[in-house]
Chain A
Amino acid sequence: MEKKSNGLVIFLIVVVVLVSILYMRSRSSKNSNVMVNSETNSNASNKTTNETSATKETSDTMQKNLDTFTVKVTENGFEPSTVTIKAGTKVVWINNSGQDSNVSSAFHPTHLVYPPLNLGSFSDGDSVSLIFDKPGTYKYHNHLDPSQFGEIVVE
């Protein structure tokens, strides 16, 4: 009887710790989301600047007019893994991994969170795409290797 109650006490402690962690994370997520967005925006801007050797002003103009964003699928996963775009932007995934790849919505393996993002499998050299109309954060992964994942942040 004593052992049973000890076990229950330990379990209750674990539950309390779990709920506390979840609660704290849900509270802090709103603040951290803002930071992540601004960080990825600046990354995207830098990338454009490097590729075109343009001035910062030109880069900003391109960012505003951008309506297609390319994500490369390599052996190491999605590059870049986090993308911040404006609503209405088309995201294209190009498979350069040397084998079949896949783009599927979270969670693995049900893919129910955002079904339009279930773009399925595509061979090396092929591409798939989707236009994101509504603001939000869309998480996805490679169903054939779920250690590869990414997210699209639509503003």
Chain B
Amino acid sequence: MLKNIIRVPKIQLAFCLVAIYASTLFNKFLPLYIFYLIYCVGLTVFFDLLFMKLKKTASFIPWAGVVSGIIIALLANPKLSAYIIVLASFLSMFSKHFLIIHGRHIFNPAAFGLFFSHLIFKENISWWGVSFQKFGFDLKHLIFFVILLFPAYVSVMRLRRYRIIAAFLIMYVLLLSFIGLSLNLSPPFDSTLLFFALVMLPEPMTSPNKRSRQIFYAVAAALISVFISSGFIIQGFAFLAYIPDPLIFSVLVCNFLFFEGGELYGKEK
């Protein structure tokens, strides 16, 4: 029974994310951070169960809510007002249950909740829990960095989403190198970018299944995030400066553009 449960990718991902969160506690311990994780996960699980009840679907252990809660805890600044986290949790589970086509949700729930809650309250998404893991050869940095890579087991080995991850990172490096006019190989080792590529982008329900579309999906995400990040676009379209986070915005746009939940792609699932 237990063996079967821990084989579920969603549950494995939850354990990987808890390991990353634990590493943040080792890096900088504050009792607040433990309560913060419980608070975020508690809220997403609560809203997940509430919406299941409202939809009169069978209740089960809401692992998706747990995963979304941990992602919100890792990405949203713990110093934010509590109601922003409530809104992020509510919106993430709302999108999971109600922004659906043919039983499949369109947007990455955690990304959706984080984006709109931060947009409304004019906050930037901080990525605080996945930013300190610098790549280095000393033991401390190496351990933190390896823990950050744990989700690769789920997204690469179990879900086979390696095309998305590779295409995104390669395109990202090329774009930054093009802007800087020299090959810039540091991005693939940036912890924020790795977490985004390994966890946020390849979410199985909201990323394409078809191989060629996976590549386009990842390339589009890299293009959108880099161009919004750069000052060139902002000078032309000032309102883009209010986007809380280019990476999260890019994944939401690509979730929509490459959605495969409709009738056209139903047979390929």
Show the binding face of A for B, using Cβ within 8 Å.
3-4, 7-8, 10-11, 14, 18, 21-23, 25-26, 29, 99, 107-110, 112-114, 141, 143-147, 149
Contacts and interface: CB of A to CB of B under 8 A. Distances in A.
B98 A10 contact: yes
B234 A113 contact: yes
Interface residues of B, number: 44
B79 A109 contact: no
Contacts of B179: 112
A109 B169 CA distance: 13
Most chain A C-beta atoms within 10 Å of own C-beta, residue among B98, B176, B228, B229: B229
B235 to A, nearest CB: 10
Contact of A147 (B120, B126, B226, B245): B126
Interface string B72-89: 000001110000000000
A149 B124 contact: yes
Given A18-B119, A114-B231, A145-B132, A109 B239 contact: no
A7 B131 contact: no
A108 B77 CA distance: 13
Contacts of A107: 124, 228-229, 245-246
A110 to B, nearest CB: 4
B128 A146 contact: yes
A109 B234 contact: no
Nearest to A121: B134
Most chain B C-beta atoms within 10 Å of own C-beta, residue among A109, A141, A145: A109
A147 B256 CA distance: 29
B6 interface: no
B241 to A, nearest CB: 8
Contact of A4 (B28, B120, B126, B263): B263
B132 A108 contact: no
B203 to A, nearest CB: 18
Contact of A11 (B77, B99, B120, B226): B99
B87 to A, nearest CB: 14
Given A22-B242, A145-B128, A146-B192, 11 more contacts: A4-B101, A7-B100, A11-B99, A18-B116, A26-B239, A99-B28, A110-B225, A110-B230, A112-B226, A112-B230, A147-B126
Contacts of B192: 108-109, 146
A144 B131 contact: yes
Contacts of A110: 176, 225-226, 229-230, 246
Closest A-B pairs by Cβ, 5 of them: A110-B229, A26-B239, A147-B77, A147-B126, A147-B128
5 contacts: A108-B127, A109-B127, A110-B226, A112-B176, A144-B134
